[in-house]
Amino acid sequence: MALYIRSAQPNDAEAILAIYAPYVEKTAITFEYEVPGVEEFRLRIQKTLKQYPYLVAEDESGVVGYAYAGVFKARAAYDWCVETTIYIKEECRGKGIGKALYSELESRLKALGFLNLNACITWLDEPNEYVTHQSPDFHAHLGFEKCAHFHRCGYKFSRWFDMIWMEKRLADISHPQRPSCL
Q: Assess if residue 92 is contained within a domain.
A: yes
Output the tens digit of pLDDT for each of the chain's 182 residues. 699 999 999 999 999 999 999 999 999 999 999 999 999 999 999 999 999 999 999 999 999 999 999 999 999 999 989 999 999 999 888 889 999 999 999 999 999 989 999 999 999 999 999 999 999 999 999 999 999 999 999 999 999 999 999 999 987 656 666 666 54
Question: What's the pLDDT at 182?
Answer: 47
Three-state helix/strand/coil letters over the chain: CCCEEEECCHHHHHHHHHHHHHHHHHCCCCCCCCCCCHHHHHHHHHHHHCCCCEEEEEECCEEEEEEEEEECCCCHHHCCEEEEEEEECHHHCCCCHHHHHHHHHHHHHHHCCCCEEEEEEEECCCCCCCCCCHHHHHHHHCCCEEEEEEEEEEEECCEEEEEEEEEEECCCCCCCCCCCCC
Q: Assess if residue 179 is contained within a domain.
A: no
Print the domain residue range for 109.
4-169
Q: Assess if residue 23 is contained within a domain.
A: yes
Q: Assess if residue 148 is contained within a domain.
A: yes
Model pTM?
0.92
- The CATH number of the domain where 48 resides is what? 3.40.630.30
How many structural domains comprise the chain?
Answer: 1
